[in-house]
Amino acid sequence: MGGSPESLAAFATEIHRTIHVFFRAHAALLFRKKQATLAVGTFIKKWDIKIPKAVSLYPRHVPILVMTTMTLLDFIGELHVHWMLEGHQIFGCLRVLLKGLRTVEHIQAIHGLAVRSKGGCLRSEGEEKYSREVLETFLQAFLDASSKVMNDMSLIGTSRLCRDCYQRRF
């Protein structure tokens, strides 16, 4: 059995609502925080270059591990769309990807998260809205790092850089 990132995020949201109805707001908040911690924590363990066994460091890993981690990133973006994750968590994932940006998959993951989360950390969430300067700094660092990635620099050997990604706006 399985499901798409969209259906799993919608399912998690429904569980959150049910917990809120039956057990009140505090229990629902605990569920939401645990869900966010598990999703983002698992992603960071697989992609942060500071972690010795991170997928992003070992090209010999089976393609399924890389693709599974990228699907997890899609799920994280969908959780944000459903208000189960906060903007700073999305931005944290983007920073992890930027820090280790060496392959086509990193570029695809950054692009995918920005698109999937519908702007993620860009939208206003009270005090969470990042300043224009922070976002411009991130974008400049992304453009600098991604310009050094060659089309054949892939973790799994089959990905190719989608040139239309550069034409889309986050």
- As given in the structure block, the two tokens for residue 4 are 């798409």
Burial 159-169 (b: 16+ CB within 10 A, else e): bebeeeeeeee
pLDDT digits (tens, 9 = 90+) for 17-43: 999 999 989 999 999 999 999 999 988
Backbone conformation region of residue 24, classed left if phi is above 0, alpha if psi is from -120 to 50, else beta? left
| Residue 88: both structure tokens together | 């700073």
pLDDT in tens, the chain (170 residues): 466 777 888 888 899 999 999 998 999 999 999 999 999 998 888 777 676 666 655 555 557 777 887 888 889 988 988 888 888 888 888 888 888 888 888 888 888 888 888 765 655 555 455 677 777 888 899 889 888 887 767 766 654 445 444 444 44
